[in-house]
């Protein structure tokens, strides 16, 4: 009996060891796995030519677009816009690197499927049915700008030309006189970046109008009027800064204008960080809240460029953005049973959507993950956790005063 008891004790110990929970993921591991969870359904199905048959086409109440003509390019272009900085890190022999290699492989196949007229998932790059393809062709272009080596540089000559053909086709769509002017501009600047013939007229027009619409303290109007929403982060500042950067690099624009736009985005990043509460929430205000974490694209882009202003430590931004992602993406209903995003802000909330929102629209949330394009050894990821501004303020800690800028 004693021997049996000893045996049972050993078995219990073994069971206890086997049942022990895995150690918690660090912030980088958590965000990498979450980004892959979001992106994988889009890229996997598209790489196999099955996106049209597999992707849901949930739409907002009173949706006003031909969903089957626009939602697939929305999902693809927006996913690419956010995942590409991480992909641009390229292959390595780490566990994370093996995940990146896999997603790189299927993303390259997905791009080829999206632009090949013979593909079952060939995307609509025309304005024949709706103007929406201009928007998501622009996000596709922005994504390619963010991965010039691992994506554009690894594509076949045929696929590159098909992308260029798609972008040229989008010139037939006239941009509205608001943030849409940047969509035409970023496409033309992408053509410039990759050595194709480009049209600078819509680029100059976009830069002129956006600068005219500057309202002060880092905020641009969306058109002539100011909108209290997150479009400065969803579209305006990230696209403006990146297109001005390319123009300056190519000798086709002003370095001073780029630096001014960047300084304004740095101030805007401070404002965004201060809006993240101690609990990882932030104000739900304005249009397009189903874009979720894309509200922090501008902050994430400043971090990616390693240009956070002095009052923001990389570690506090990492901790703040990770807290936001946990609040949003761990809420039941955010994903459906097959892993696709559902319409909502925090969970499944179709009523919060605008009339242009469909399943594909939701994937702009990937742009909140741009800082994954920094290597894991960078202080953004490697430095010990730090409290962000609202945690310090509401916890009675030391908090520097805030102030507006006058440029």
* CA 198 to the chain's CA centroid: 25
pLDDT in tens, 51-105: 999 999 999 999 999 999 999 999 999 999 999 999 999 999 999 999 999 999 9
How much of the chain, in percent, has pLDDT values that exceed 70? 95
Q: Name residues whose C-beta falls within 8 Å of residue 303's C-beta, 6 or more positions apart in sequence.
A: 269, 314, 317, 318, 370, 371, 374, 380
- pLDDT recorded at residue 18: 54
State mean pLDDT over 335-351: 98
- pLDDT recorded at residue 11: 52
Contact 279, 327 (CB under 8 A): yes
pLDDT exceeds 80 at position 7: no
Domain limits of the chain?
24-394
pLDDT in tens, 205-250: 999 999 999 999 999 999 999 999 999 999 999 999 999 999 999 9
pLDDT exceeds 90 at position 2: no
Q: Name residues whose C-beta falls within 8 Å of residue 109's C-beta, 6 or more positions apart in sequence.
A: 46, 47, 48
Q: Name residues whose C-beta falls within 8 Å of residue 374's C-beta, 6 or more positions apart in sequence.
A: 303, 304, 306, 380, 381
How confident is residue 23, by pLDDT bands cut at 50, 70 and 90? confident
Q: Name residues whose C-beta falls within 8 Å of residue 64's C-beta, 6 or more positions apart in sequence.
A: 355, 356
pLDDT in tens, 132-165: 999 999 999 999 999 999 999 999 999 999 999 9
Handedness of CA 228, 189, 306, 99 (dihedral sign): positive
pTM for the structure as a whole: 0.94
CA–CA dist 42, 45 (Å, integer):
6
CA distances from 276 to 82, 165, 247, 294, 319 (A): 20, 42, 33, 14, 10
- pLDDT recorded at residue 144: 98
CA–CA dist 72, 50 (Å, integer):
11
Mean per-residue pLDDT over the chain, rounded: 95
Question: Across-strand partners of 341?
Answer: 335
pLDDT exceeds 50 at position 4: no
CA–CA dist 22, 3 (Å, integer):
32
Phi, psi of 167, deg, nearest 5: -65, -40
- pLDDT recorded at residue 22: 72
CA–CA dist 294, 230 (Å, integer):
8
Could you identify the residue written with the tokens 């501009």?
185
State mean pLDDT over 342-364: 98
Cα dihedral angle (246, 251, 252, 253), rounded to 10 degrees?
70
Q: What is the CATH number of domain 24-394?
A: 1.50.10
pLDDT in tens, 280-327: 999 999 999 999 999 999 999 999 999 999 999 999 999 999 999 999
Question: Across-strand partners of 335?
Answer: 341
């Amino acid at each position: 009996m004693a021997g049996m008891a000893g045996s049972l004790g050993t078995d219990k110990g073994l069971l206890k060891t086997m049942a022990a929970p895995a150690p918690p993921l660090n912030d980088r591991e958590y965000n990498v796995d979450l980004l892959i969870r979001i992106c994988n359904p889009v890229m996997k199905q598209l790489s196999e030519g099955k996106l049209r048959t597999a992707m849901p086409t949930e739409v907002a109440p009173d949706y006003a677009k031909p969903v089957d003509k626009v939602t697939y390019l929305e999902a693809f272009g927006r996913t690419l816009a956010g995942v590409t900085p991480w992909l641009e890190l390229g292959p390595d022999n780490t566990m994370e690197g093996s995940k990146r290699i896999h997603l790189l492989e299927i993303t390259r196949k997905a791009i080829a499927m999206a632009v090949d007229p013979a593909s079952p998932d060939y995307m609509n790059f025309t304005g024949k049915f709706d103007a929406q393809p201009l928007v998501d062709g622009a996000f596709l272009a922005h994504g390619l700008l963010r991965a010039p080596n691992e994506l554009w540089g690894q594509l076949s000559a045929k696929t590159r030309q098909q992308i260029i053909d798609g972008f040229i086709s989008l010139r037939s769509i006239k941009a509205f006189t608001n943030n849409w002017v940047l969509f035409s501009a970023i496409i033309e600047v992408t053509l410039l970046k990759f050595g194709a013939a480009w049209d600078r007229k819509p680029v100059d027009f976009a830069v002129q109008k956006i600068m005219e619409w500057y309202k002060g303290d880092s905020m641009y109007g969306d058109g002539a009027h100011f909108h209290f929403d997150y479009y400065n982060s969803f579209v305006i500042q990230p696209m403006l800064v990146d297109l001005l950067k390319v123009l300056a690099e190519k000798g086709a624009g002003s370095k001073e204008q780029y630096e001014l736009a960047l300084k304004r985005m740095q101030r805007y990043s401070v404002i965004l960080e201060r809006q993240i509460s101690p609990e990882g929430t932030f104000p739900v205000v304005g249009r397009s809240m189903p874009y979720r974490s894309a509200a922090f694209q501008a902050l994430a882009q400043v971090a990616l460029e390693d240009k956070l202003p002095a009052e923001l430590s990389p570690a506090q931004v990492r901790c703040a953005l990770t807290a936001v992602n946990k609040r949003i993406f761990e809420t039941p209903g955010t994903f459906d049973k097959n892993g696709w995003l559902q319409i909502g802000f925090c969970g499944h909330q179709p009523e919060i959507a605008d009339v242009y929102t469909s399943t594909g629209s939701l994937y702009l949330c990937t742009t909140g993950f741009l800082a994954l394009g920094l290597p894991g050894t960078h202080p953004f990821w490697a430095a010990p956790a730090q409290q962000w501004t609202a945690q310090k303020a509401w916890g009675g800690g030391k908090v520097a005063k805030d102030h507006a800028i006058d440029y």
